[in-house]
Amino acid sequence: MNRYPLWKYALIVVVLLVGVVYALPNLYGEDPAVQVSSSRQPVDAALRERVLGTLRAQGVPFRSAELADGRLLVRMADTEAQLKAVDVLREALGPDYTVALNLAPATPAWLRAINARPMYLGLDLRGGVHFLMEVDLEAALAQAEERYVDDIRGLLREAKIRYLGIRRGADGIEIAFRDAAERAHAAERIRGTLQGLELAERDAGGVFLVARLSERERREVMRLAVQQNITTLRNRVNELGVAEPVIQQQGEGRIVVELPGVQDTARAKEIIGATATLEYRLVDTEHSVEEALAGKVPPGSRLYRTRDGRPILLKRRVIVTGDQIINAASGFDQQTGSPAVFVTLDGAGARRMLAVTRENVGKPMAVVFIENKVETRVVDGRKVRTTRRVEEVINVATIREPFGKRFQTTGLDSPEEARNLALLLRAGALAAPVQIVEERTVGPSLGADNIEQGFRAVVIGFVLVLAFMAVYYKVFGLVADLALFVNLVMVVALLSMLQATLTMPGIAGIVLTVGMAVDANVLIFERIREELRNGNTPQASIHAGYEKAFSTIADANITTLIAAAVLFTFGTGPIKGFAVTLSLGIVTSMFTAIMGTRAVINLVYGGRRLKALPI
Amino acid sequence: MQILGRTTRIDFLGRRRIAAVVSGLLMLVSLVSLLAQGLVLGLDFTGGTLIEVAYPRPVELSEVRQRLAGGGLGDVVVQHFGTARDVLIRVAPREGLASADVSTRVLELLQEEGGGPAMRRVEFVGPQVGEELAEKGGLAMLYALIGILLYVAFRFEYRFALGAVAALVHDVLITLGFFSVFRIEVDLTVLAAVLAVIGYSLNDTIVVFDRIRENFRKMRRGSALEVMNASINQTISRTLMTSLTTLLVLVALFAFGGEIIHGFALALIVGIVVGTYSSIFIASPAALALGVSRSDLVAPKREEAADDRP
């Protein structure tokens, strides 16, 4: 009695081996490393040679270099060499490459070959910044409507269809016509060209055509707005030189940004959180600024101020907006050698720019930088968010010749200014304003403390339970202790395999599973004791103990899993971590506490004549 | 070694009226406190900014307050966190202040001159996000209860399910009441702990119910009350043992896990003590009061159905 078939032992040994192997990477430390990546240049073997050549030439010692996921990771001997290497490489590679400090897991090659990696530590354990940003989708939709207004205007003009007026109303774009025949004509044209619009007729107070974004178009606009923000954020984060940043969409209009190891949150926020857009406008040279200041602003113009506070009069009509800018880079003018900013526009922007500049050679053009500052106010006990626009002219330049897709802005005082302008132009290329709605920053010292304290709590709790079980259930207790240890190894192995993020609440989840994992064994052992008390033989008691406790254990664990699943579904970051470790712990404990202990006990006591059990 | 050497014969259910009075009182106190003064909701739910800084030397709170006074931050709470060198600063959400900039401003003010503190952690939650979290948390609790109710009803019987849920509501109410009465802050981790308590307390209850079902089948004689009493007695050493080991771990977590995890550990400690008590004194008596009998759990034999024929 109480013998396990060989295959069960084999299964347990295999699971155990896999668990140990995949938990193993966590025992090795991390190497200081330097990471080189680029969004513009290829990261390949040639770059590798160049980087290593530079390091050799400068006498910076390194261990090895590997190319993976489009980045080059150079492992350094120590942190001193790491810091030196960053300086040397930034100097040598120039602004096209991002050189960042990183920590590379020191996992041996044979483990890396089977994809065994250490657990991924959350920001609360390794330190860093977590931002949750919200994209203002309403603004994105408004912008899209604005673009359609321009398109419709152009379309009708081109088709020589007369209309009385066009404006954005409460329920869409309203176009007024003189009679129904013109309206029908226009509707036909708009339907044929602008598929993203849904048209409706309205006859109250005039002959109107109301164009609204179709549901599909709305979704597309929102999707693109989030997507473009993610792309822009990624570029900005690259400028910060962060290794392994996480930028992900969350829900419909939110973006998570995680920057491990970043300390200077003020700078990170400045670069990431600047919710800005841009507009290129012509300068109104026909009217005087003085008169405008006195209150007589000409109808087609608006009064702006430059960064240093000087007033300037600009035309109301926008030539190009920030979302039409594909790229902006600083550099030097090839002919004069003076600092310059090179701008690239998308197709639609290029056409508009060409049309406008062709007619306005010799006239000045201005770049308006618009920052959206979002504030939350309490009005009548309810929280209301308002966006305040701060607009300023960051650059005025004369149009020398007509240009379209690519152009350069010169006349900047210094390379520094050129860099700043390029950064601002890129920063302004966001489709819709974003706002930080959540921030969690953990300093590196706290991260280290959290690991240490969490680890200590796990160890102390673990040892207490081990001791208690051994004293209380003797040999059986020791077997349960062994199972508990294996359980811990398996939870770590699973977390490493899944590359789930380990957070402080996650550690709490592990600690809790340690406490609860023994529950299955307690149930079984108490049952065995009971059977013995009822006068059954030791072998029969072991058998009955495992048999009868099983359904209870299953019921109890399934209900806990239900709670964990609910936590996972409704929780955010840290709570999810807790739910994940708790669920993993429950599943593995079912295996170790039932099958694992049974195997050991069968091996020790199975098939023998026993008078008493050490329980 | 054994805590209880033999199977005990304690008349648990005979004391159910005393237990009902004790639980009723605790629940009443909790409810009154929750209604009257509510919970001290943490930043996760209210929104606002929290900054933890570490000074190189012990620092007076008045000194920190003085530095922050001129910053136009409005409602600022400054307190020590763990040691005299660690300071926690909370800034309430306020109109006219771009909220994401608050932490930057605070750190600037504190670090103006040399000898300033190092940033340990910053948490900023927008009011919108906070409201969503509070709503989601409440929903999570509700869904967990419904899911469990369904599972227990499916595995046992609806009266047992109601008994189990009565025990859970009891546990959640008293645990939250504890946090309300003692004015301890409730953050996201405490909410997670309360949900874990639901799972845990249920664990205990299910074990007892399982035994009751088994005994109804085994013990041909004996009233429902006697069967329940015997079942609780048979499982009591397991119930105590499991609670004890879990408490051991939680006490370790409370003592050594650091300040951040305090609320979480405390909620679980309270919840597990209450949950253990409720699985003995609330769940089964509630099922009994609803009129559970042998026939509800033991499937009727085939022959009985056949007897109906003329």
At A125-181, the pLDDT tens digits run 888 888 888 888 888 888 778 778 877 887 888 888 888 888 888 888 889 988 888
Crossing angle of the two packed helices B127-155 and B188-218, in degrees rounded to 10: 10
| A-contacting residues in B 29-58 (Cβ below 8 Å) | 52, 54
Q: Which of B195, B266, B276, B297 to mutate to test the interface with A (most CBs of A within 10 A)?
A: B195
| A-contacting residues in B 59-88 (Cβ below 8 Å) | none
Q: B54: helix, coil or strand?
A: strand
Q: What is the pLDDT of residue B298?
A: 66
Q: What is the pLDDT of residue A247?
A: 87
CATH number of A6-24+443-605: 1.20.1640.10
Q: Distance between CA atoms of A568 and A583, rounded to whole angstroms? A: 10
SS3 string of A397-408? EECCCCCCCEEE
Touching check for A555 and chain B: CB below 8 Å?
Answer: yes
Answer yes or no: is pLDDT of A19 > 90.
yes
Q: What is the pLDDT of residue A429?
A: 60
Instruction: Look at strands A30-37 and A71-76 and give their pairing.
Output: antiparallel
Q: B202, A556: Cβ pair inside 8 Å?
A: yes
What does the block give as tokens for B177? 């009441």
pLDDT, tens digit (0-9, with 9 covering 90-100), for A504-558 = 778 878 877 877 788 889 989 999 998 898 889 999 999 999 998 888 888 888 8
To the nearest whole Å, the CA of A359 is away from the closest chain B CA by: 42
Range B6-19 average pLDDT: 83
In the structure, what pLDDT confidence band is assigned to residue B266 with cuts at 50, 70 and 90? very high
Q: How many residues does chain A have?
A: 615
Kindly compute the dihedral angle of the four CA atoms of residues A16, A17, A23, A28, in this order, to the nearest 10 degrees: 140
Q: What is the pLDDT of residue A383?
A: 46
Q: Which of B3, B52, B119 to mutate to test the interface with A (most CBs of A within 10 A)?
A: B119
In the structure, what pLDDT confidence band is assigned to residue B170 with cuts at 50, 70 and 90? very high
Q: What is the pTM of this model?
A: 0.73
Q: What is the pLDDT of residue B34?
A: 94
pLDDT, tens digit (0-9, with 9 covering 90-100), for A218-246 = 888 888 778 777 877 776 676 666 777 88
**A497 or B102, which is more confident:** A497
Q: What is the pLDDT of residue A39?
A: 60
Kindly compute the dihedral angle of the four CA atoms of residues A311, A316, A320, A324, in this order, to the nearest 10 degrees: 100
Q: Distance between CA atoms of A349 and A279, rounded to whole angstroms? A: 11
Contacts of A269 in chain B (CB under 8 A): 100-101, 104
DSSP H helical ranges for B182-223: 188-218
In the structure, what pLDDT confidence band is assigned to residue A388 with cuts at 50, 70 and 90? low
Range A76-88 average pLDDT: 84
Contacts of A533 in chain B (CB under 8 A): 6-7
**A410 or A319, which is more confident:** A319
| B-contacting residues in A 206-265 (Cβ below 8 Å) | 263, 265
Q: Which of A519, A582, A586 to mutate to test the interface with B (most CBs of B within 10 A)?
A: A519
To the nearest whole Å, the CA of A465 is away from the closest chain B CA by: 6
Q: What is the pLDDT of residue A514?
A: 78
Lowest mean pLDDT among A467-471, A490-494, B56-60, B101-105: B101-105
Phi/psi zone of residue A100: left (φ > 0), alpha (ψ -120 to 50 degrees), beta?
A: beta
| Helices and strands (H, E) in chain B, number of each type | 12, 6
Q: Distance between CA atoms of A280 and A289, rounded to whole angstroms? A: 19
Instruction: Look at strands A254-260 and A207-213 and give their pairing.
Output: unpaired
Contacts of A378 in chain B (CB under 8 A): 95
In the structure, what pLDDT confidence band is assigned to residue A34 with cuts at 50, 70 and 90? confident
Which residue among A265, A469, A563 places its CB closest to the CB of B196? A563
Contacts of B238 in chain A (CB under 8 A): 522-523, 526
Answer yes or no: is pLDDT of A412 > 80.
no
Q: Distance between CA atoms of A263 and A442, rounded to whole angstroms? A: 8
**B139 or A598, which is more confident:** A598
Report whether A103 contacts A28 (CB < 8 A): no
Q: Distance between CA atoms of A552 and B213, rounded to whole angstroms? A: 11
Q: A516, B2: Cβ pair inside 8 Å?
A: no
Report whether B284 contacts B236 (CB < 8 A): no
Kindly report each contact of residues A66-74 with a partner whose C-beta sits within 8 Å and lies 24 or more positions away, as own/partner: A67/A43, A70/A37, A70/A43, A71/A35, A71/A36, A71/A37, A71/A43, A72/A35, A72/A36, A72/A37, A72/A43, A72/A47, A72/A48, A73/A33, A73/A34, A73/A35, A73/A102, A73/A104, A74/A33, A74/A34, A74/A35, A74/A36
Q: What is the pLDDT of residue B2?
A: 64
Q: What is the pLDDT of residue B276?
A: 92
Touching check for B143 and chain A: CB below 8 Å?
Answer: yes
Q: What is the pLDDT of residue A574?
A: 66
Tell me A594's DSSP state: I
Compute the mean pLDDT over every residue in chain B, rounded to the nearest whole number: 83
Q: Which of A269, A476, A512, A525 to mutate to test the interface with B (most CBs of B within 10 A)?
A: A512
CATH number of A274-440: 3.30.1360.200
What does the block give as tokens for A184? 């029908």
Ramachandran angles phi, psi of A199, nearest 5°: -105, 145
CATH 3.30.1360.200 domain range(s) in chain A:
274-440
Contacts of A471 in chain B (CB under 8 A): 1
Q: B210, A516: Cβ pair inside 8 Å?
A: no
Compute the mean pLDDT over every residue in chain A, rounded to the nearest whole number: 83
In the structure, what pLDDT confidence band is assigned to residue B306 with cuts at 50, 70 and 90? very low
Q: What is the pLDDT of residue B310?
A: 45
CA closest to B190 among chain A residues: A575
Q: B144: helix, coil or strand?
A: helix
Contacts of B122 in chain A (CB under 8 A): 265, 439-441
Identify the helix (H) or strand (E) that includes residue B263: helix B262-281
Residues 6+ apart with CB under 8 A from B25: none
Whether this model's ipTM surpasses 0.90 comes out as no
- Percent of chain A scoring above 70 in pLDDT: 90
Q: What is the pLDDT of residue B24?
A: 94
Q: Distance between CA atoms of A566 and A588, rounded to whole angstroms? A: 19
Q: Which of A144-153, A196-205, A233-242, A591-600 has the highest mean pLDDT?
A: A591-600
Q: Which CATH class is domain A31-106?
A: alpha beta
Q: B121, A374: Cβ pair inside 8 Å?
A: no
Q: B249, A511: Cβ pair inside 8 Å?
A: yes
Q: What is the pLDDT of residue A274?
A: 57
In the structure, what pLDDT confidence band is assigned to residue B308 with cuts at 50, 70 and 90? very low
Lowest mean pLDDT among A234-248, A320-334, B261-275: A234-248
Report whether A524 contacts A543 (CB < 8 A): no
Q: A363: helix, coil or strand?
A: coil
Touching check for B293 and chain A: CB below 8 Å?
Answer: no
Q: A300: helix, coil or strand?
A: coil
Which residue among B93, B128, B207 places its CB closest to the CB of A556? B207
pLDDT, tens digit (0-9, with 9 covering 90-100), for B13-45 = 888 889 999 999 999 999 999 999 999 888 888
Touching check for A533 and chain B: CB below 8 Å?
Answer: yes
**B154 or B177, which is more confident:** B177
Q: How many residues does chain B have?
A: 310
Contacts of A515 in chain B (CB under 8 A): 245-250
Tell me B301's DSSP state: P
Q: What is the pLDDT of residue B303?
A: 43
Range A253-264 average pLDDT: 82
Instruction: Look at strands B76-81 and A406-409 and give their pairing.
Output: unpaired
Q: Distance between CA atoms of A317 and A279, rounded to whole angstroms? A: 10
Answer yes or no: is pLDDT of A271 > 70.
no
Tell me A596's DSSP state: I
To the nearest whole Å, the CA of A343 is away from the closest chain B CA by: 31
Question: First CA to last CA across chain B, in angstroms?
Answer: 61
Q: What is the pLDDT of residue A167?
A: 84
Q: What is the pLDDT of residue A561?
A: 85
Answer yes or no: is pLDDT of B305 > 70.
no
What is the architecture, at CATH level 2, of domain A138-216?
2-Layer Sandwich (3.30)
Touching check for B152 and chain A: CB below 8 Å?
Answer: yes
Answer yes or no: is pLDDT of A433 > 80.
no
Q: A450, B118: Cβ pair inside 8 Å?
A: no
Contacts of B195 in chain A (CB under 8 A): 563, 566-567
> How many A/B residue pairs have CB atoms within 8 Å?
247
Contacts of A437 in chain B (CB under 8 A): 125-126, 128-129
Report whether B210 contacts B283 (CB < 8 A): no
CATH 3.30.70.260 domain range(s) in chain A:
31-106
Q: What is the pLDDT of residue B48?
A: 84
Range A402-410 average pLDDT: 83
Tell me A464's DSSP state: H
Phi/psi zone of residue A241: left (φ > 0), alpha (ψ -120 to 50 degrees), beta?
A: left
